[in-house]
Structure 1
Amino acid sequence: MILSGWGRYPRLDCEARLARDEDSLRRTLDKAADTGRPLIARGNGRSYGDSALQPLGTVGMRGMNHILGFDPATGIVTAEAGVLLDDLISVFLPQGWFPWVTPGTRFVTVGGMIASDVHGKNHHRDGSFGNFVAWIDVMGPDGAVRRCSPDAEAGLFAATVGGMGLSGVILRAAFRLRPVETGWIRQRTIPTASLDATIAAFEANADATYSVAWIDCMATGAALGRSLLTLGEHARIGELPEEARARPLTLDLARKRKVPLDAPGFALNRWSVSAFNALYYRRGAAQAGSALVPWDSYFYPLDALLEWNRIYGRRGFAQYQCVLPLDASAEGLRALLTEISASGRSSFLTVLKRMGPEGLGRIGFPMEGYTLALDFPMSAGTLGLLRRLDEIVLAHGGRFYLAKDSRIAADTLRRADPRAADFRSLREEAGLSGRFASAQSERLIL
């Protein structure tokens, strides 16, 4: 069947199988071994590029979707790899628990969150998802299941957290949730007039639990990097209005809408995005200040629009995410935004976050600094721009997020991250490189 990541680029014809339990997965592994074909596990298809695609064998894990247990004394939940984050929130938020770390969508699987070592708006404070994983069960190429943790089978654990599914198939995991009193977020929006002001505002609010900035990537001159910085804290019951205190954890969520069709290719262009950005910034600046907002609108604003990836049309889009070290962030971000603005190619959604120290994974994405995420409609011109952005990132000592990547070259990855060659060697020594491989890992020689 034809499969793609969330960016809808590339689209590949993949031999697809669904794993419903350990036995069916083991049979799929045995068949792949007999035919000499590699395979890769796939969750809900929310990685953006080709990291969960393998033409010779893509194994869907949504059939293994059971929540297996919960310990309210520790906040540790045990769940199979195919459980959605949305399922976890639906079950546990009414009981007063929320994920410690969440990406920008709740329609990701537990296995996908571990394989990508997802981070959220609180990385500067709490790190990435792997920091809260107690253990993982991983099925290797021989069908044997090994339980790994930071203390036992630590090498496998480090290769699995952020390892993009290349160390084996994640079956289930145990990880911590955080206690919360309400489902509301105390939000504060700060408009900033320039990139320097944006970075200064992040640093001045480093004690905020959550922080994220929307950047007007089409602004130029003195306004380059102007942003709306949004801070967030889990609201306490005493901070809610009287009428909300009776049901602090059960909220009336925004009604979901669906993009009905693929937008025409010309819909997102320099002029339409520039006009939208200017309006969005003015509106956000006018509404700056504090407000109580529901959890879903703070963490997952795009989830309210189902199939929003169709906005970019049939050709899809490239999500581009890099992280720059702290001492090079201001200069590197200025160079990136200047190049984007000069190119005439617009990113419809441009997001900046402050990152904390590196995570636990052997090839994890985070480093302390700033991470910039951008969306570009796919075209030959876009690919040319992204190659220029690659060089800017490399010149400033940055890295690329594999969960968002669909097109960087193997030598670009190795120039950015010397750990890539070590990860490749580790996989070869463990006999994994011929058994677990994605279109991405083949492209990047991982």
Structure 2
Amino acid sequence: MTSTGFDSWGRIDRRARQSVSPDAYENLRESAAPGAFLPFGNGRSYGDSCHNDQGKLIESRVRTRILGFDPGTGIIACDAGVTLHSILETAIPHRFFLPVTPGTASVTVAGAVANDVHGKNHHARGTFGRHVRGLTLLRSNGEMLACSPVENRELFYATIAGMGLTGLILSVDLQLMKVPSAHIQQHAIRFDTLADYFGMVETVDAEHEYSVAWIDQLAAGKRVGRGVLLAGDHADASCEFPDMPRARRLSVPIAPPFNLLNTMTLKAFNELYFRKEKRGETVKTVKWPGYFHPLDAIGNWNRLYGPKGLYQHQSVYPSADAPYLTPRLLETARKAGHASFLTVLKKFGSQQSGGLLSFPRPGFTLTLDFANQGEETLKLLNRLDAMVVEAGGAINPYKDARMSPQTFDFSFPRWRELEELRDPAMVSNFWKRTALSLPG
């Protein structure tokens, strides 16, 4: 089947792509040519790690059963195509929550495993993969393997952050986290400089489950480095908000003919966003979707970047370099004439994932996104890469659509171990562009 419903979230390379159902793949796999397939979740990866344009995508999102949930232990078993939102719908009434959630609940659980996603509480809980109790993996040679930290261990940790390259994930067993309420007691701390942020983030992280900072990337002069740190903890059981707030009502039906998130509009937005928080610290209870997944309230918000799509750049770099490197990255983008709507800064903790290609590591991570302006945007992203690599950092592969093989090699020196365990039937545009372009 050929369909147009398989774009990545960045919408850089939009085209019809061939796909098969998981059932069809199970019938085809034994005769599969090398690199003929790749699992596809819900299309929330930003670049080409979810595409295989010389082969077929396996539409994992069509399998959406909750296979079992134990409200005593908080262990949930589900099909690979179940979204994180569906898990929350099942778990929250029993006072459980995802131990780690990324900025959208629309990702599939297999996608969360394959990218070993992180959230606002990496300093406290690490990555998603740390909470996976086990998974079932179908290899193209016909093996259906139960993988866990004790069974088929090597393949288990290759599958976590393995970007779908080790086989087709069929099901996942996940340990959820007991909470008094799904909603969040939020501490909004407005700061005027990055020095203020770096001066308080260690203490804030030690005191709170969640911590993330929004930065005004366009601020210049005396306003450079201003932002808001949003710390939080789960509210107590007396919280009066309904467990499952009303679903989103807004959506962007079509992509406008030009980028709506440009320098002019974002300067106005940033000013309003910064000023809406009072000076000092403001504490209030907020609903969990607004704290964890604010942009899920707007369907297809990525279309606001216009017909050429967007690039997202997420990097991680050592803590010692962060006070110097962070403002340089922001300034480099600003001077290049690129405005970032989602500019997020947070501190990763020291908990290790185990996933061979897991992106988080101790240090600070900065996320920027830019409307695609063609060659000028690519030049900027290459400059940002070089600055991060020089500091000993890394670039996030599942946010990427253009990093060089050399940058990937520096960021993930263990990639050859994943290549040894890769299912020969599975490959992605990203893997061919980076790993398979390097010496073996």
Q: In 1, Cα distance between the equivalents of 2:143 and 2:407?
A: 35
Distance 2:247 2:76 in 1: 27
Give how far 1:251 is off.
Answer: 4.4
DSSP 3-state at the match of 2:339: coil
Q: Once structures 1 and 2 are overlaid, which stretch shifts more, 266-275 or 374-383? A: 266-275
Higher mean C-alpha deviation, range 223-232 or range 24-33: 24-33
Q: How many residues align?
A: 429
Contact kept, 8 Å, 1:352 with 1:371, in 2: the verdict is yes
Q: Which moved more, 1:112-121 or 1:212-221?
A: 212-221
How far 1:271 moved relative to its partner?
2.4
Q: What is the rounded CA distance, in whole Å, between the counterparts of 2:179 and 2:416 in structure 1?
A: 42
Alignment of 1:130-209 (within 5 A): 130-207=129-206, 208-209=208-209
**Residue in 2 that maps onto 1:307:** 300
Q: Are residues 1:444 and 2:439 paired?
A: no
Task: For 1:413-432, list aligned pairs within 5 A.
Answer: 413-424=408-419, 426-427=420-421, 432=423
1:53 and 1:438 mapped to 2: Cα distance?
Answer: 5
CA distance in 2, matches of 1:252, 1:276: 25
> Is the partner of 2:228 in helix, strand or coil?
strand
Note the alpha carbon deviations across 1:219-245, whole angstroms, 9 max, x for none: 12443221100011101124x3xxx2x
Q: Is the Cα contact below 8 Å between 2:319 and 2:363 reproduced in 1?
A: yes
**Residue in structure 2 matched with residue 267 of structure 1 by the alignment:** 260
Cα offset, 1:148, TM superposition: 1.1
**Counterparts of 1:368-379 in structure 2 under 5 Å?**
368-379=362-373
- What code does the residue aligned with 1:436 have? M
Checking the alignment, whether the CA contact within 8 Å between 1:38 and 1:436 is kept in structure 2 is yes
**Number of the residue aligned with 2:330:** 337
* Cα contact 2:259–2:305 (8 A) shared by 1: no
* 1:327-374 deviation line (CA, Å, top 9, x unaligned): 222222122112112112111111111111231101110101111111
Go from structure 1 to structure 2 and tell me whether the alpha carbon gap of 1:44 and 1:266 turns closer, same or farther (over 3 Å shift). Answer: closer
- Amino acid in the other structure paired with 1:27: N
Kept after mapping to 2: 8 A contact 1:181/1:249: no
The TM-score, its normalising length taken from structure 2, stands at: 0.93
The residue aligned with 1:216 is 216
Mapped partners of 1:40, 1:266: distance in 2: 31
One-letter amino acid of the counterpart of residue 72, structure 2 = A
Q: Does 1:6 align with 2:1?
A: no
Aligned to 1:237: 237
Match of 2:47 in 1: 49
In structure 2, the partner of 1:281 is: 274
Aligned to 1:114: 113
User: What letter is aligned with 2:429?
Assistant: A
Q: CA deviation at 1:181?
A: 2.1
Residue 259 of structure 1, CA deviation: 1.2
Judged with a 3 Å threshold, the aligned counterparts in structure 2 of structure 1 residues 203 and 223 are, in CA distance, closer, same or farther, namely farther
Q: For structure 1, which segment, 46-55 or 218-227, has the greater mean C-alpha deviation from structure 2 after superposition?
A: 218-227
Unaligned runs of 5+ in 2: none
Return 75-84 or 24-33, whichever deviates more: 24-33
Q: Secondary structure, in 3 states, of the residue corresponding to 2:176?
A: strand
Tell me if the contact between 2:189 and 2:280 (Cα under 8 Å) persists in the aligned partners: no
Q: Which residue of 1 aligns with 2:27?
A: 27
Describe the shift of the 1:84–1:251 C-alpha distance in structure 2 as closer, same or farther (beyond 3 A).
Answer: closer
RMSD over aligned CA atoms reads 1.8
Out of 300, 303, 318, the position equivalent to 1:325 is: 318
- 1:72 is displaced (CA, Å) by 2.4
Matches within 5 A, 1:55-94: 55=53, 56-94=55-93
CA deviations over 1:106-131 (Å, ceiling 9, x no partner): 11101000000010000011100011
SS of residue paired to 2:86: helix
Q: Identify the residue that residue 250 of structure 2 maps to in structure 1.
A: 257
Equivalent-residue separation in structure 1 for 2:37 and 2:43 (angstroms): 15
Query: Residues 308-335 of structure 1, C-alpha deviation per residue, up to 9 Å, x if partnerless?
Result: 0110011110111111122222222122
Using the alignment, how far apart are the partners of 1:188 and 1:151 within structure 2?
40
SS of 2:88's partner is helix
Letter of the 1:110 counterpart: V
Structure 1 residues 64-73 or 278-287, which shifts more? 278-287
Letter in 2 for 1:220: A
**Match of 2:391?**
396
% identity of equivalent residues: 37
- Superposed CA deviations along residues 73-104 of structure 1, whole A, max 9, x for unmatched, are 32111111001111111122112111111001
Task: Tell me the SS of whatever aligns to 1:262.
Answer: coil
Runs in 1 of length 4+ with deviation above 6 angstroms? Answer: none
Q: Which moved more, 1:194-203 or 1:225-234?
A: 194-203
Which of 378, 387, 391 is the matching residue for 2:382? Answer: 387
Match of residue 425 from structure 2: 435
Q: Provide the rounded CA distance (Å) in 2 between the counterparts of 1:27 and 1:196.
A: 58
Deviation at 1:51, TM superposition (A): 1.1
Q: How far apart in 1 are the matches of 2:182 and 2:172?
A: 25
> Does the C-alpha gap of structure 1 residues 422 and 332 become closer, same or farther in structure 2, counting only changes over 3 Å?
farther
